[in-house]
Structure 1
Amino acid sequence: MAGSLTAKYIDGIRRRIAAGEPVKEWHADNSNGLFLRARSSGRLTFEIRARPWPNLAIGPAEMGLAAARQIAAETVVSRAKGVDPAAEKKAAREAAKAPKAAAVAPDDSFDAIVGRYIERHAKPNLRTWRDMERALQKDCVPLWKGVPIRQISRPMIGEALDRIVDRGAPRQASTTRLFLSGLFAWAVGRGYADDNPVEKVPVPSKAVARDRVLSDPELALIWRAADAAGYPFGQIVKLLMLTGQRKAEISDGRWSEIDMAAGLWSLPPARVKNKRAHTFPLPAPALAILEGLPRIEVGQGKDRTLSDLIFTTTGETSVSGFTRAFTNLNKAIAAQNGGKPLPHWTLHDLRRTAATRMGDLGVLPHVIEAVLNHISGHKAGVAGTYNRAAYEQEKREALDILARHILTITGESPPSNVVSLPKRRAK
């Protein structure tokens, strides 16, 4: 018989409990004795009730209906063979209380494996490890904390990805699937898991070209909201707008990379996506932002010195927490815009918008590519190697005109040393 419980029904129970409305304790699914139990504390759990067997608790409602129904079906099969899963769980609890042997097996819970994977594999080998850690900790660990990694099934993964899609982030769901697949592949190799359940889970959404270019009024709203955001996120957003560089290239910046007198920021290959050293000029407004930043001291006693990190609150690591900061930025934007938020946008859209706006203002394509450190027809091969230095003046002029444009649309007075380029027509 088809189950009567639905995700919508369960969400309705949550809302009623939150509102203080009375709800009954047991809600039948009509599927292999599966019930949803609503406790007065607000906690929702799945349990199996089938006489003459004792009740069997499966797990929290967050595990998802598909996973709960799969366990209920497996329980029916086990009981038909005379095996009582409840008795097995009780025996496992008793065994856990017994004195442990000298050799203790490593914790195989999902959250423990995630931590081990990030430290032993992702950090040393992957530039995206921060994004990976953030995604797994936000969308997966809360669902499967304490669950042995071998028990994570395809339905559980599918429902976790559906949650991300349902909140309006299909691209993030696809990215999280990739992160999970890498995690499970590593876990199989280390013997923590027997297979990779992610491989047969469909991709939540097809990758689509990113083409969001922000309008001038939108840029002005973001600039003013960045003022309200304060250090360090507000300054990072403004520097992204003024330079067109990638988020990590700015947020993970070092003071040793910057020549304030020459107005240049030089990125080493290790900090650049294409592994090619990149130097870009700093327009006057960007220099003013950097000059106003606080410096954090590190070390003790005679060894105490200023941290080389530009954006840090500890002096030891670059700032994090971009997801929450971006949410707060959007709230500030909506507050300035009569309660109306901007259509979906990302910080990377600032880079694309900078390139588009420079083109609108007469900057030639090869100069824009030099500013962004793109490698294409204009800069590929031997010619690109010899042309990089020749573009330094053009890059400075391009970013100066972009800075003048941004300050104009935001109502701020541009410094006198910001120049404009003549409008050029494409041949």
Structure 2
Amino acid sequence: MTKPQLRRPNKYRGWQIFRDHDGDWRCYHRKTRVKIDCRKFEPYTLAFDMEIHRINELVNEKQTKPGTLGMLITRYRESVRFHTELAPRTRADYQKCFDYLQAIEDTPLDRFTPPLIAKIRDKALEKRKFRFANYVRSVLSVIFDWGIEYGYTKDNPAAKVKPARRPKSLPDANRPWTDAERETVLAALPSHMVLPIALMMFYALDPQDALDLPRSAITQAGLDTRRNKTGQAIYLPLFEPVSEAMANAPKHDALTLCANSRGMPWTYNGFSTNWSKLKGKLEAEGVIQPGLTLKGLRHTVATILAEMGKDHGTIALVLGHATVGGCYLLDTDKSGPISPNRL
């Protein structure tokens, strides 16, 4: 029986990635022989992928036709906005959309109209489901807006296209946790996972923000940090449950506030793997319902803080709302034809 062949991801095509006889990683671009320092960029990590994309863009830049979508994407990826205003994970998500749009990158910019954007959205919906379809639409809107500002485009056709509708058959995304689920999970967590969960549960931090939080960001006076995704500053008092979790956390020498069982900074994948195992065990025991996610904790923060006796202003501040009233939102449940078929 013939062994099935694994499909090589587009981003690695044209690259030789291997271990030498000493077991060290080696990586170079086949055509140009450009090498990547695998000690600095560990293969298959996010940083490695971003370096692959950076070199791919440099290699392909001469082949990018002026006035096309490919040119706009290349210029945007070279911009200060892309490199300094977006978090690494967001840049990686944008790159997935750019990779998807590569099939139509030679299309002139003046060929893009709202109906064409809608067709691209619908094709992505057919192939990759609604979340990715909406993300492609959003990323197109972002780069066309940027293009207007820098004189590459005259308008933003994606801004006039509505997102794809969420299928009614899909379960709620990142649903709120019930009180019982919160108590059950907190009681079942190993000691080195309690503090990260507490930061997500009581400060509404995204998982990556909680895991990356440096020791200096939180003291007896409170929390002083910024949200990684938006850059929004966070200044909050030290809540008792978080203070208790800090006191009971295993001692370690990591620069981050939270550390894994080996005393090293958590990686997102590492924490996610441990969380998935624990969640699966609790689901199998029937003590929590399916669909529990770490980001779902943010949807319950308003309720949690209200139960702790926090005022509406504090709740709005934690959730990042400009007004107090907003805090209740999370407390409730021409030439060169294009061929979208190539996408």
Return the offset for 1:247. Answer: 4.6
The answer to whether the Cα contact below 8 Å between 1:113 and 1:187 also exists between their aligned partners in 2 is: yes
Paired AA for residue 279 in structure 2: I
The answer to whether the Cα contact below 8 Å between 1:174 and 1:203 also exists between their aligned partners in 2 is: yes
Which residue matches 1:178?
A: 138
Distance 1:344 1:265, change over 3 A: same
Distance in 2 (CA, whole Å) between partners of 1:112 and 1:245 is 36
Distance 1:210 1:361, change over 3 A: farther
Return the offset for 1:281. Answer: 0.4
Residue in structure 2 matching 1:108, options 60, 64, 68? 64
- 1:229-269 alpha-carbon deviations (Å, 9 max, x no partner): x67xx75333212434455653443333333xx2522236x
Paired AA for residue 181 in structure 2: E
How is 1:11-410 mapped onto 2 (pairs within 5 angstroms)?
106-108=62-64, 117-123=76-82, 126=85, 128-138=86-96, 140-141=97-98, 143-144=100-101, 147=103, 149-151=105-107, 154=117, 155-165=119-129, 170-171=130-131, 173-186=133-146, 198=158, 202-205=162-165, 212-220=175-183, 222-223=185-186, 227=190, 235-247=195-207, 249-259=209-219, 262=220, 264-267=222-225, 275=232, 278-283=235-240, 284-288=243-247, 292-295=251-254, 310=257, 321=268, 326=272, 329-338=275-284, 342-360=289-307, 362-369=309-316, 372=319, 374-377=321-324
Where 1:117 maps in the other structure, the secondary structure is: helix
Larger RCO: 1 or 2 (CA < 8 Å, sep 6+): 2
Give the unaligned 5+ runs of structure 1: 1-18, 22-39, 44-58, 60-103, 297-308, 380-427
Question: Which of the two has higher C-alpha Rg?
Answer: 1
The answer to whether the Cα contact below 8 Å between 2:82 and 2:91 also exists between their aligned partners in 1 is: no
Distance in 1 (CA, whole Å) between partners of 2:80 and 2:188 is 37
Return the offset for 1:134. Answer: 3.1
The answer to whether the Cα contact below 8 Å between 1:132 and 1:179 also exists between their aligned partners in 2 is: no
Where 1:213 maps in the other structure, the secondary structure is: coil
TM-score (norm 1): 0.43
Distance 1:202 1:243, change over 3 A: closer
Return the offset for 1:356. Answer: 0.5
Paired AA for residue 278 in structure 2: A
Counting matched residue pairs gives 254
The answer to whether the Cα contact below 8 Å between 1:149 and 1:192 also exists between their aligned partners in 2 is: no
Distance in 2 (CA, whole Å) between partners of 1:291 and 1:281 is 19
Paired AA for residue 285 in structure 1: E
The answer to whether the Cα contact below 8 Å between 1:366 and 1:378 also exists between their aligned partners in 2 is: no
Paired AA for residue 141 in structure 2: S
